[in-house]
Amino acid sequence: MKIVVCAKFIPDPNLALVVDPDKKRVVRDPSQSILDPGDEFGIEAALQLAEKHGGEVVAVSMGPESADAGIRRAMAMGVERAILITDQSLEGSDALTTAEVLSSVIASEAPDIVVTATESTDAYTGMVPGAMAAMLDMPQLTFVRSIEVDGQTVTAQRDYENGYQTVRAALPVLITVTASVAEPRYPSFKGMMQAKKKPIDTRDLGAVGIDAGSAGEAGAREKVLDLSKVQIEKQTRVVEDDGTGDSVDEIVAYLKHAQAI
């Protein structure tokens, strides 16, 4: 069984967003970027399937050259090899271009299963997986919290608004997972050492078969007109809890002020 996982290198979501007002987009500083934590759940689920049924897990990523740091993390977890699509003209790509680039590379791998996060932790559109499923002509199982494979059939539980559903499809299939699908393993020292030697196949747009003019900011169908800082009128009163109980007094006083008590 061959499983492709999508891996995105994103600005650390625990740090404040930095925006370039001229380029009208988020600044992506490689030294403050990490493998999207949401992707680790899909990687773990894929590794568990490959361990159980045999097979290979391949990571596919689109990003700057520095994104190899994110890929090495996936490899330290157990991913065997990776394809990184990196090209200057991809900068500023929208969700649709991202889906076109990733699905083009994924199609060349002819996987049985494609696993992605439900949405990236930086842009949150959640549009790339579904668009890829259409481009790959695969059925899509979304918001999945458990996956079982039996022969050529996948059975999954998926979250929906009022509960969950059990759904079934034949391979090949694209699956988007939530974080309850599996607890990501922490890479071992051995895994980290092995990751350094694993192959990353770096491709430019030409190798993917997509014209540079139709990619990146030039080809983006979603255009940013302007990006501005929202004025927050709130004055935050910050207190340090020193264990004396004073902070509890503050909270109770505020709850009274807001008429919650």
Q: Does 16 bind another protein (CB under 8 A)?
A: yes
With respect to another protein, which residue has the nearer C-beta, 69 or 169?
Answer: 169
Cβ-Cβ contacts under 8 Å for 224 (sequence gap 6 or more): 24, 25
Q: Does 9 bind another protein (CB under 8 A)?
A: no
> Binding to another protein (CB under 8 A): which residues in 102-161?
103, 118-119, 121, 124-135, 137, 139-143, 145, 155, 159-161
CA distance 60 to 4: 7
Least CB distance to another protein at residue 57 (A): 21
Least CB distance to another protein at residue 119 (A): 7
Q: How many residues in the shown chain lie near another protein by CB under 8 A?
A: 88
- Partners of 149 in beta bridges: 154
Among 29, 51, 65, 241, binds another protein (CB under 8 A): 241
Q: Does 96 bind another protein (CB under 8 A)?
A: yes
Least CB distance to another protein at residue 133 (A): 6
Count of C-beta atoms within a 10 Å radius of residue 220: 17
Least CB distance to another protein at residue 65 (A): 25
Buried b (16+ CB within 10 A) or exposed e, 195-210: beebebebbebeebeb
With respect to another protein, which residue has the nearer C-beta, 31 or 189?
Answer: 31
Q: What is 69-105 written as a DSSP string?
A: HHHHHHHHHT--EEEEE--GGGTT--HHHHHHHHHHH
> Binding to another protein (CB under 8 A): which residues in 172-191?
178-180
> Binding to another protein (CB under 8 A): which residues in 44-73?
none
CA distance 170 to 158: 16
Among 190, 196, 197, 229, binds another protein (CB under 8 A): 229
CA distance 64 to 30: 9
Q: Does 31 bind another protein (CB under 8 A)?
A: no
- Indicate the DSSP class of residue 206: H
Name the one range near another protein by CB under 8 A: 3-11, 75-83, 166-174, 186-194.
166-174
Taking a C-beta distance cutoff of 8 angstroms, is the pair 36, 120 a contact?
yes
Q: Does 19 bind another protein (CB under 8 A)?
A: yes
